[in-house]
Amino acid sequence: MSVEFVNPEFEVIRNDNRCIACRVCERQCANEVHLFDPDRGIILSDESKCVNCQRCVSLCPTRALKIVKNECRLRENANWSDSTIKEIYKQANSGGVLLSSMGNPNPLPVYWDKILINASQVTNPSIDPLREPMETKVFLGKKPDKITRNEDGSLNCELLTQLELSMPVMFSAMSYGSISYNAHASLARASKELGIFYNTGEGGLHEDFYCYGENTIVQVASGRFGVYEDYLEAGAAVEIKMGQGAKPGIGGHLPGAKIVGDVSRTRMIPEGSDAISPAPHHDIYSIEDLRQLVFSLKEATEYKKPIIVKVAAVHNIAAIASGIARSGADIIAIDGFRGGTGAAPTRIRDNVGIPIELALASVDQRLRDEGIRNNVSLVVGGSIRSASDVVKAIALGADACYIATAAVLALGCHLCRTCQTGKCNWGIATQRPELVKRLNPDMGAERLVNLMTAWQHEIKELMGGMGINSIESLRGNRLMLRGIGLTEKELEILGISHAGE
Amino acid sequence: MKLEGQVRIPSGCAIAAVISKEGSRMSGEMITNAMKPMHDRSNGLGGGFAGYGIYPEYKDFYAMHFFFNDRAARKDCEVFLKERFEIVQSERIKTRKIPAITDEPVIWRYFLSPLKSVLTSMQMDEKEFVANTIVKINTEFKGSYVFSSGKNMGAFKAVGFPEDVGEFYRLEEYEGYSWTAHGRYPTNTPGWWGGAHPFTILDYSIVHNGEISSYDANRRFIEMFGYKCNLQTDTEVIAYIMDYLLRVQKLTLEEAAEVIAAPFWSTIADKSESERKKLTYLRTVYSSLLITGPFSIVFGFNGGLMALNDRLKLRSMVVGEKNDKVFIASEEAAIRVMEPDVSKIYAPAGGEPVIVRLKEGTF
B278 touches chain A (CB under 8 A): yes
Q: In whole angstroms, give the CA distance from residue B316 to residue B313.
A: 7
In a domain, B296, yes or no: yes
Query: Which B-chain residues 165-204 have CB contacts (< 8 A) with chain A?
Result: 187
- Tell if the CB–CB gap between A374 and B224 is shorter than 8 Å: yes
Q: How far apart are CA B220 and CA B218, in angstroms?
A: 6
Q: Please give the average per-residue pLDDT across A179-198, as a whole number.
A: 98
Nearest residue to A246 via CA among A319, A321, A322, A354: A354
| pLDDT score for B1 | 58
What local confidence, expressed as pLDDT, does residue B11 receive?
66
B285 contacts in chain A (CB < 8 Å): 143-144, 147, 159, 374
Q: Among candidates A251, A317, A308, which has minimal Cα distance to A280?
A: A251
- How far apart are the C-alpha atoms of A302 and A227, rounded to whole Å? 16
* φ, ψ of residue B159 in degrees (nearest 5): -85, 120
Tell me how long chain A is: 501
Q: How far B78 CA sits from the closest chain A CA (Å)?
A: 30
Contacts of B210 in chain A (CB under 8 A): 124
Q: Is the dihedral of CA B189, B192, B194, B199 positive or negative?
A: positive
| H-assigned helices in A29-144 | 55-59, 82-94
Can you tell me the mean pLDDT for A109-128? 94
pLDDT at res. A282: 92
* Residue A171 and residue A227 in contact, taking contact as beta carbons nearer than 8 Å: no
Residue B269 lies in a domain: no
For the segment A86-114, the average pLDDT, to the nearest whole number, is: 94
- Cβ contacts from A onto B, under 8 A: 111
- Give, to the nearest 10 degrees, the angle between helix B234-243 and helix B215-222: 40
CB B362, CB B152: distance < 8 Å: no
Question: Which residues contact residue A118 at a Cβ distance below 8 angstroms, ignoring those fewer than 6 apart?
Answer: A465, A466, A479, A480, A481, A482
Question: What share of chain A in percent tops pLDDT 90?
Answer: 93
The two beta strands, A138-140 and A163-165, are antiparallel
All domains of chain A in start order, with CATH: 2-96 (3.30.70.20), 167-459 (3.20.20.70)
CA distance A401 to A112: 13
Q: How far apart are CA B252 and CA B229, in angstroms?
A: 24
Please state, in angstroms and as integers, the Cα–Cα distance from residue B184 to each residue in B163, B209, B294, following that order.
Answer: 12, 8, 15
Q: Determine the Cα–Cα distance for residues A128 and B249; give it in Å rounded to an integer.
A: 34
β-bridge mates for residue B318, sequence order: B329
**pLDDT of the residue at B10:** 63
Cβ(A395)–Cβ(A481) under 8 Å?
A: yes
Interface of B with A in 123-152 (CB under 8 A): none
Closest CA to A228 of A277, A267, A198: A267
Q: Which segments of A42-106 are extended strands (E)?
A: 42-45, 65-69, 99-100
Counting Cβ atoms within 10 Å, is residue B6 exposed (0-12), middle (13-18) or buried (19+)? exposed
State yes or no: cis peptide before A125, omega within 30 of 0: no
Rounded to whole angstroms, how far apart are CA atoms A267 and A274? Answer: 11
Whether the Cβ atoms of residue B25 and residue B340 lie closer than 8 Å to each other? no
Q: Is B250 on the interface with A (CB under 8 A)?
A: yes
User: CA geometry: angle at A334 spanning A449 and A471, to 5°?
Assistant: 55
Instruction: Give the chain A residue whose CA is nearest to the CA of B255.
Output: A155
Distance CA A413, CA A187 (A): 14
Asked if residue A348 has pLDDT above 60, the reply is: yes
Q: DSSP alpha helices (H): ranges in A301-440?
A: 317-325, 346-351, 356-369, 387-396, 405-411, 433-436
Q: Is B223 in CB contact (< 8 Å) with chain A?
A: yes
B249/A contact by beta carbon, under 8 A: yes
Look at residue B172 and tell me if it is in a domain.
yes
Task: Name B79's Cβ contacts closer than 8 Å, sequence gap at least 6.
Answer: none
- C-alpha A358/C-alpha A402 separation (Å) is 16
| pLDDT tens digits, one per residue of B70-128 | 999 999 999 999 999 999 999 999 999 999 999 999 999 999 999 999 999 999 899 99
pLDDT at residue B196, rounded to an integer: 86
Residue A2: the pLDDT is: 82
Distance of alpha carbon A28 from alpha carbon A34, whole angstroms: 9
Find the residue in A nearest to B262 (Cα). Answer: A470
Å between B292 CA and nearest CA of chain A: 6
CB contact under 8 A, B291 and A133: no
Inspect the interface and report whether the beta carbons of B211 and A123 lie closer than 8 Å: yes
The two beta strands, B199-201 and B204-210, are antiparallel
B275 Cβ under 8 Å from any chain A Cβ:
no
pLDDT computed for residue A124 by the predictor: 85
Per CB-CB distance under 8 Å, the chain A contacts of B281 are 155, 157, 159
Pairing of β A481-483 and β B85-92:
unpaired
Residue at B117: amino acid letter: S
Q: How far apart are CA B362 and CA A495, in angstroms?
A: 49
Does residue B263 fall inside a structural domain?
no
CB A218 within 8 A of CB A239: yes
Please report the pLDDT score of residue A260 as a whole number: 86
> Which one of A123, A467, A473 has the shortest CB-CB distance to B217?
A473
Q: SS3 string of B239-306?
A: HHHHHHHHHHCCCCHHHHHHHHCCCCHHHHHCCCHHHHHHHHHHHHHCHHHCCCCCEEEEEEECCEEE
Render A480-498 in DSSP notation, one character per residue. GEEESS--HHHHHHHT-EE
Which one of A157, A162, A476 has the shortest CB-CB distance to B278? A157
Q: Is B294's Cβ below 8 Å from some Cβ in A?
A: yes
Q: Which residues of chain B have pLDDT under 50?
A: none
**Cα–Cα distance measured from residue B12 to residue A423, given in angstroms and rounded to the nearest whole number:** 62
pLDDT the model gives residue A489: 98
For residue A475, what is the nearest residue in chain B, using CA coordinates? B217
Q: B278 and A155 in contact by Cβ < 8 A?
A: yes
pLDDT tens sequence across B172-193: 999 999 999 998 887 655 668 8
CATH classification of the domain holding B295: 3.60.20.10
Chain A residues within 8 A of B282 when measuring between CB atoms: 155
Question: Residue B154's domain spans which residues?
Answer: 11-257+288-357
- Reduce the DSSP state of residue B209 to 3 states and report it: strand
In B172-181, which positions are buried (b, 16+ CB within 10 angstroms) versus exposed (e)? Answer: eebbbbbbbb
**Of B5, B11, B12, B13, which residue is the catalytic one?**
B13
**Chain-centre distance of CA B113, in angstroms?**
22
A373, A397, A479 member nearest B8 (Cβ): A479
A81 phi, psi to nearest 5 deg: -75, 160
Determine whether the interchain pair A478/B292 forms a contact, defined as Cβ–Cβ distance below 8 Å. Answer: no
| A449 close to A166: Cβ distance less than 8 angstroms | no
Query: Is B4 part of a structural domain of the chain?
Result: no
- Contact assessment for residue B319 and residue B345, using Cβ atoms and an 8 Å cutoff: yes
Q: What value, to the nearest 5°, has the Cα angle with vertex B6 and ends B3 and B12?
A: 70
**Which of B11, B214, B281 is closest, CB to CB, to A155?**
B281
Residue by residue, DSSP assigns B20-81 as ETT---EETHHHHHHTGGGGGG--SS-EEEEEES--GGGTTSEEEEEEESSHHHHHHHHHHH
* Residue-wise pLDDT tens digits, A234-292: 999 999 999 999 999 998 888 787 888 999 999 999 998 988 899 999 999 999 999 99
β-pairing verdict for B106-114 and B62-68: antiparallel
Q: Which helix (H) or strand (E) holds B186?
A: strand B178-186
CA distance to partner chain B, nearest, from residue A470 (Å): 7
Whether the CB-CB separation of B205 and B197 falls below 8 Å is answered with no
- Quick one: pLDDT at residue A27? 97
What's the full length of chain B, in residues?
Answer: 363
Chain A contact present for B291, CB below 8 A = yes
Taking any CB pair shorter than 8 Å as contact, residues of chain A touching chain B are 120, 123-125, 127, 132-133, 135, 137, 139, 143-144, 146-147, 154-155, 157, 159, 162, 368, 371-374, 397, 466-470, 472-480
* B77: annotated active-site residue: no
| Nearest chain B residue to A140, by CA | B284
Looking at residue B4, what DSSP letter applies? B
A239 touches A309 (CB < 8 A): yes
Contact B285 A143 (CB under 8 A): yes
The number of domains in chain B is 1
A262 three-class SS: helix
In a domain, residue B283? The reply is no
**Chain A contact present for B316, CB below 8 A:** no
pLDDT tops 90 at residue A123: no
- Residue A275: which H helix or E strand, with range? strand A275-277
The whole-angstrom distance between A365's CA and the closest CA on chain B is 9
Of A83, A65, A80, the closest CA to residue A24 belongs to A65
Per-residue pLDDT for A118 more than 90? yes
Q: How high is the ipTM of this complex?
A: 0.91
Contact list, A144 vs chain B (CB under 8 Å): 285
Chain B residue with CA closest to A365: the answer is B220
- Confidence at residue A460, expressed as pLDDT on a 0 to 100 scale: 98
- Using left for φ > 0, alpha for ψ between -120 and 50, and beta otherwise, residue A292 falls in alpha
